[in-house]
Structure 1
Amino acid sequence: MRRIGGARLCRIGRNVAWVLLPFFVATATSAASIVPAAAADTAEIHYDITVRINPGARTIEGRSVITAKTSEELTLVLGRRFEVMHGRVDATSLGPSAITGKMRAWRIPGDKQIPRRIEVHWRGELSALDTSLDHPQTLGRNEPASSDAGTFLPDSSGWYPYIAEKLASYHVSIELPGGQRGIVAGRLVEESETDEGYRAHFEFPAPTGGIDLMAGPYKVETSTMRGAGGKTIQLRTYFHPQIADLAPAYLSSVKSYIELYESWIGAYPFTEFSVVSSPTPTGFGMPTLTYLGIEVLRLPFIRSTSLGHEVLHNWWGNGVYPDYAQGNWSEGLTTFMADYAYKERESPEAAREMRRGWLRDFAALSPGQDAPLTTFTSRTHGATQIVGYNKAAMTFLMLRDLLGRETFDHALQAFWREQRFRIASWADLRGAFQTVSKQDLNSFFDQWLTRAGAPVVRIAEAKRTKSDSGYRVNVTLEQAAPEYRLRVPVAIRTGEGEEMRTLDLEHGRQTFTLDVRTLPLEVILDPDLRLFRRLMPDEAPPILRQIMVDRAAVTILLPESGEVRGTAETLAGKLQNRALKLVPATDSLPSAPALVIGLEEQVDAWLARHQLPRRPEIVRGKGSAHAWTVSRSDGMTLAVVSAREAASLAALIRPLPHYGRQSYVIFDGAKAIGRGAWPTRVQAVKLD
């Protein structure tokens, strides 16, 4: 992903090409309808790009005409791997470039004569598409890659000439061999297929951050829906032949999501949305489309989870662009209004379980692993997701609890009206919520956005006494420094049920007096888990993710040598995604969190030697491999991975890293046949 001027160029990528061919078949939709005319007029930079790709030969050739309606100095950038055959700025030759890493750059001096015209012809060779990469490897790769099975040119690869630090509108024309289809974000203006091959022309009139290009042997299915105000929206699937039968269900789901978010936020900002399949395990979203791996699209739950998340990004992230210099708010807001909202619609229990997962994940971070939300830009590892997605989503939940659902929704609608196709910051969001709610929210946003960590809250004391009207409960709450201003939910359990109260905790220690009509039996802190906080040790059972994200964790490999030793080391590397801190299996128990990997007999003997709890009853005798966590008496977490034989251990390499939220997982080969988390204990004090 390339970021320009702090803007999010897109979660997936962009692609550009533009050539007007007389035999294109024009569609009925007007280009101006993709965005308001005012948005199209604001782009200082515009790209007209024509690109020809031969996936079999892995070659690319392109021509780009850049129109700059600004007199300032500019920087033109292109990937270093590409050769410039011809380049001019108005009537002047482009000249030599400076090389920085994988990019080459040209300084374009300022000029009062505008608009300026920059023309570049380039060509080059693309990397081979590697379908053996796993999901994290695919997401971390920014090389332009191609094969007959698929082409992906991420914006961050510099596959086309662009102006650094500038948003831009564009026209892109794609030329491909017959049997291939290509797509970039934007409106499909026209396309054709002749004996000469396939051609398609896309345009994106609003200023946006960058262009990713996707192509493949796609079967295209189309559906039409009416959006807000009667606007026609084209829905498409670009699917590989082996999953073409999934198209109708995906088109129906996209329609439902657009209808949901139009009623919740405002009119869908574009005239189309496409779901595009990838031969690699990708999961990206960009304006007007999402790019998902074939195997991902086959998963039965994707249409009810991830798909809606990507559709919503057309409002948050690709309709309003985050100001990355001040933090990426879009991932948290999208998580809250998609992933979490679907759980709320499912049941209160499902929503609480998601909140519990967020808090458990945060508890898995060791001190210093997180950072303020204002520094979050994109997910790079588990810790950044826990903060940038989960903590941010729960911040929006707490804000909605504070303001009420109606005011919260009206503020989001106002934010959308004011900021669409603009770069907006957390401060702009705060302004919308303050204006609509007529409340001063500075302290709320300041403490949740600018501080790392989370409050630690405990019930220090709770007592009951008789009163004239029934009973009186004195509850003393404590929080660790630095002090937060918190609305702490507390439940008073009586013989007739629970009474919920909200206590305004602003100091390190405060006592609150609560009147209760019937005999109070117990005080429970935040039983519904609606306050973002660091759970106390008894509240947070250990999960596998603690070993994955804790950089102080050590690794103990029980196989001494041979192929099984190599398999164990590979698995440890996948789980921890960093250089391993290996400790010999013969050493005494380390005073640090530890990951232990071995075959069944080795694991059982190691546990017995160190007088640690035996294999849990819930996994014993089941499947071919187990992973589980143990809370040691010294407070350290132990994660154990045990397999029946070498093949069963090797089968865990791909799937096990995806089960970080679990306390235990049972595998039969590569398939998880059982999983779960040890019970969460609420913080409660019985009243005598």
Structure 2
Amino acid sequence: MKARMTIGIAAALLVAALAVAGMTFASESPPTYDLKVAFDIPRSRITGTATVDAQKGAKFSVWRGDLRIVSLTTGGRRVRLDPEQPDPLSLQADGVVLIEFEGIVRGKDVDIIGEDAIVLRDIWYPVVEGTYRYHLTATLPRDFVAVSEADTVKRTETRGQATYSFDLPYPQRDWDGITFVASREWASRSGKYKDIDLAVHVHRRNAERLDEMMRDTQRYVERLEGLLGTYPFKRLVVVENPVPITYSLSMFTYVLLSQRSVAAPSPEDSALNHEIAHEWFGNLVLADDEGGNWAEGLASYFSDHLENERLGRAWERRQRMMNVYQHNVGDRAAFPLSGFTAADDRNARLVGYAKSAIVIHMLRRLVGDEEFLRGIRDFVTANRFRAASWTDIRHSFERATGRDLGWFFNQWVEGVTMPELALQRAAVAAAGDKHELRLTLTQQPPGSLLSVPLTVYFERGGSDVINLQISGERQEFRFLLNEKPVRVVLDENYDVFRRLTPAEVPPMIDTLLTRQRVTLLAPPGEEAKFRALIDAFERNELPMALYGWFEERPRKGSSATAGTRFRSPPWAPAGAPGTRPELRAERAAAAAAQTTGTSLILFGADHPFITALFGRLDLPRGGFTVTVLKHPRSPGDVVAIFTASSKAEVDAGYRELINHPRYSSAAFNAGKLIWYDLRQGQRGISSAVKVER
């Protein structure tokens, strides 16, 4: 995630005329902002002075947040301030502006000045509207290690205090701001790659990860340089966030990794690769949010996606991305890529990260690898330290290819359609010494211009790929082939942004959590153990059927008294007593057969439905586990099996499910992930080829 201030002023600054003008400093020398701060750790206090270049007569706006301005002068003239005046403070500058300020930073979601850690990302200094070149000097106890945006850093010590000097010789927009992170508890490693100074700082408990993280950092930089050109800065620092937030961030010259990312069991579960890609996409080239934030999509594609491509798993990643988008965003919450600014919620994240990366992939397929790299390098070179939009991306690729790509960007950047494709007919007929393949494809809604690969598998082995050009609601295709086809697969590698068919939907935790209809089945001996998880589903108003009885609770806002009544389950024979039945294993298969059209949640490793649906099944081991499988009688649905050794393990682990949406199986001990597995849905839209006379 590209870092930016988490403050309410961002939107106002974004449209401010001075800020917009500041975006054009790529070839000019921006004014300077010199910031000096010191910390009183026991009191969580920051004091400082800001010296800001300003032309005489210029309008000048300052946001204070919770800071107190001690004094403000401009051109040597003291400005009288009204402490009750809301932000921003506005004045006419008479020359250089000097601001003295102080503040207490504790108990905040974003910022903290604590005994062992300092994290400052919000309004921790007076934010001045415009684009500046920043220089920061920070003084704090010498046992702290400090990091901020900088190409060059100097550290000096005197009288138990350390003073850091951070120089950032690049323009930085006001709402992006500069940040500061420091800790007494980091273990550190430093190194060098070419002319780039590298460093890694992690909590001492993760010190064994230092060498691995240093190697991964160098590997990612080397790969990205090969694709995008020289790393844009002189320094790259990777830092474990001392504050336990769940997301990672990229700033000019450093990456702030979440604790979860540092502890990730494998590199692909860490955000490190993605955040390093942001040094090009979001830091070197800035995102112009008014035209849509493209930075997350490009960072995702050039990091996680290409890493999965290297491992031969890119199609699986795209299948999962389309599935999650389809079931979370779909038609209900869709908006165009040009309207994405930040990952304010899950749906926005899926638009800005998942759909955006797939659209970048489709652009690559459209123009070819060579011209794709030429276009992306043109975009990076032409927009260094400028705010660029999707329109700038289009212009770069049009220069690189000599083609008009307006239709592509209108369809995928401005549009919201996620087409649904179907193979209505696949047949073959003899045509002399050749074979005529006959296909009928449909698209709903019609109108999207699509290039869809069709993989043809032959009777004697081998395969071939044909690209089908689709635009209408229903289209017929005929091809003369030298060999007899026996099976065809449409979009086998998920190269087109489209809806998945039920058979393609992968069994994932996210697939389970986004089902419109879910039935929970718990034997009496398991219900109490899983009560917290059952309550969580109830709060989301998901239907719940307990094993042999229904538990009725008042809906949200109802004052009715919660109560439980017992009745026979839907599959029980007529006249069954209205008490808790002991459902025998021989009835389980018949009961399971009636669950088509709904996803199931089964509690307990000995649940009789498991054998009835799947036969013998090996389940993961752990204090709390989940296994999500395709429903064998309803391809678009899933069956989830939860096991637990105790109620305490359920209570510690169930909230972690939402943090691991792409996993098919996962095991936790005391709330910590210890194992996971990934499974896929059917690969592509597959059909046997019928022989016609």
The TM-score bracket by the shorter chain reads 0.7 to 0.9
- Give the distance between the partners of 1:482 and 1:357, measured in 2 at CA: 24
- Give the distance between the partners of 2:521 and 2:27, measured in 1 at CA: 59
Does residue 586 of structure 2 align to residue 618 of structure 1? no
Q: Tell me which amino acid in the other structure corresponds to 1:152.
A: V
Determine helix, strand or coil for the equivalent of 1:170.
strand
Structure 1 unaligned segments of length 5 or more: list them: 10-36, 130-140, 227-231, 574-578
Give the corresponding residue for 1:153: 120
Give the corresponding residue for 1:15: none
Q: 1:70 to 1:461 in 2, by over 3 A?
A: farther
1:497 to 462, 479, 489: 462
Give the corresponding residue for 2:72: 87
Give the corresponding residue for 2:287: 322
Does residue 195 of structure 2 align to residue 224 of structure 1? no
- Give the distance between the partners of 1:562 and 1:600, measured in 2 at CA: 9
Give the corresponding residue for 1:41: 28
* Bigger radius of gyration: 2
Q: How far did 1:494 drift?
A: 1.1
Which TM-score applies when normalising by structure 2? 0.80
Give the corresponding residue for 1:360: 323
- Give the distance between the partners of 1:153 and 1:595, measured in 2 at CA: 45
Q: Tell me which amino acid in the other structure corresponds to 1:274.
A: V
Give the corresponding residue for 1:395: 359
Matching of residues 513-552 of structure 1 within 5 Å: 513-548=478-513
Give the corresponding residue for 2:685: 683
What's the Cα RMSD here?
Answer: 3.7
Deviates more, 1:243-252 or 1:473-482: 243-252
Q: Is the 8 A contact 2:517 2:543 kept in 1?
A: no
Give the corresponding residue for 2:653: 652
Does residue 158 of structure 2 align to residue 194 of structure 1? yes
Q: Tell me which amino acid in the other structure corresponds to 2:241.
A: S
Q: How far did 1:376 drift?
A: 1.7
- Give the distance between the partners of 1:2 and 1:418, measured in 2 at CA: 26
Kindly provide the CA deviation profile for residues 557-584 of structure 1, in whole angstroms up to 9, marking residues without a partner as x.
Answer: 97999996773378659xxxxx733656
Give the corresponding residue for 1:344: 309
Q: How far did 1:351 drift?
A: 2.0
1:58 to 24, 34, 44: 44
Q: Is the 8 A contact 2:120 2:180 kept in 1?
A: yes
- Give the distance between the partners of 1:71 and 1:616, measured in 2 at CA: 81
Determine helix, strand or coil for the equivalent of 1:354.
helix
Deviates more, 1:483-492 or 1:243-252: 243-252
Kindly provide the CA deviation profile for residues 121-166 of structure 1, in whole angstroms up to 9, marking residues without a partner as x.
Answer: 111211158xxxxxxxxxxx33x21223211111xx21111124x3
Q: Is the 8 A contact 1:175 1:199 kept in 2?
A: yes
- Give the distance between the partners of 2:74 and 2:521, measured in 1 at CA: 60
Q: Is the 8 A contact 1:220 1:238 kept in 2?
A: yes
Q: Is the 8 A contact 2:619 2:627 kept in 1?
A: no
Structure 2 unaligned segments of length 5 or more: list them: 15-23, 553-568, 571-594
Q: Is the 8 A contact 2:196 2:233 kept in 1?
A: yes
Matching of residues 582-593 of structure 1 within 5 Å: 586=550
Q: 1:373 to 1:673 in 2, by over 3 A?
A: same
Give the corresponding residue for 1:260: 223
Q: Tell me which amino acid in the other structure corresponds to 2:427.
A: K
1:580 to 533, 540, 543: 540
Higher relative contact order structure (alpha carbons within 8 Å, sequence separation ≥ 6): 1
Q: Tell me which amino acid in the other structure corresponds to 1:485.
A: L
Deviates more, 1:234-243 or 1:630-639: 630-639
Identical amino acids, percent of aligned pairs:
24
Q: Tell me which amino acid in the other structure corresponds to 2:91.
A: I
Q: Is the 8 A contact 1:128 1:145 kept in 2?
A: yes
Determine helix, strand or coil for the equivalent of 1:653.
helix
Q: Is the 8 A contact 1:2 1:8 kept in 2?
A: no
Give the corresponding residue for 2:101: 122
Q: Is the 8 A contact 2:62 2:88 kept in 1?
A: yes
Does residue 604 of structure 2 align to residue 600 of structure 1? yes
Q: Is the 8 A contact 1:6 1:325 kept in 2?
A: no
Q: 1:640 to 1:599 in 2, by over 3 A?
A: closer
Kindly provide the CA deviation profile for residues 582-608 of structure 1, in whole angstroms up to 9, marking residues without a partner as x.
Answer: 65652589x99999889639x959x79
Q: 1:170 to 1:125 in 2, by over 3 A?
A: same
Q: How far did 1:503 drift?
A: 0.7
- Give the distance between the partners of 1:464 and 1:566, measured in 2 at CA: 56
Kindly provide the CA deviation profile for residues 301-327 of structure 1, in whole angstroms up to 9, marking residues without a partner as x.
Answer: 338953222222111111100111221
- Give the distance between the partners of 2:620 and 2:156, measured in 1 at CA: 60
Give the corresponding residue for 2:267: 302
Deviates more, 1:286-295 or 1:313-322: 286-295
Q: Tell me which amino acid in the other structure corresponds to 1:290.
A: V
Q: 1:458 to 1:583 in 2, by over 3 A?
A: closer
1:270 to 227, 233, 242: 233
Determine helix, strand or coil for the equivalent of 1:291.
strand
Give the corresponding residue for 1:2: 5
- Give the distance between the partners of 1:260 and 1:620, measured in 2 at CA: 38
Q: Tell me which amino acid in the other structure corresponds to 1:93.
A: V
Q: How far did 1:556 drift?
A: 6.7
Q: Tell me which amino acid in the other structure corresponds to 1:320.
A: V
Q: Is the 8 A contact 1:371 1:453 kept in 2?
A: no
1:415 to 379, 386, 391: 379
Q: 1:391 to 1:443 in 2, by over 3 A?
A: same
2:342 to 378, 392, 403: 378
Q: How far did 1:535 drift?
A: 0.6
Q: Tell me which amino acid in the other structure corresponds to 1:646.
A: K
Determine helix, strand or coil for the equivalent of 1:530.
coil
Give the corresponding residue for 1:204: 168
Q: 1:83 to 1:261 in 2, by over 3 A?
A: same
- Give the distance between the partners of 1:172 and 1:592, measured in 2 at CA: 63
- Give the distance between the partners of 2:265 and 2:13, measured in 1 at CA: 30
Kindly provide the CA deviation profile for residues 175-209 of structure 1, in whole angstroms up to 9, marking residues without a partner as x.
Answer: 10120122211123421122240100112122113
Q: Tell me which amino acid in the other structure corresponds to 1:337.
A: F
Q: How many residues align?
A: 619
- Give the distance between the partners of 1:553 and 1:294, measured in 2 at CA: 35
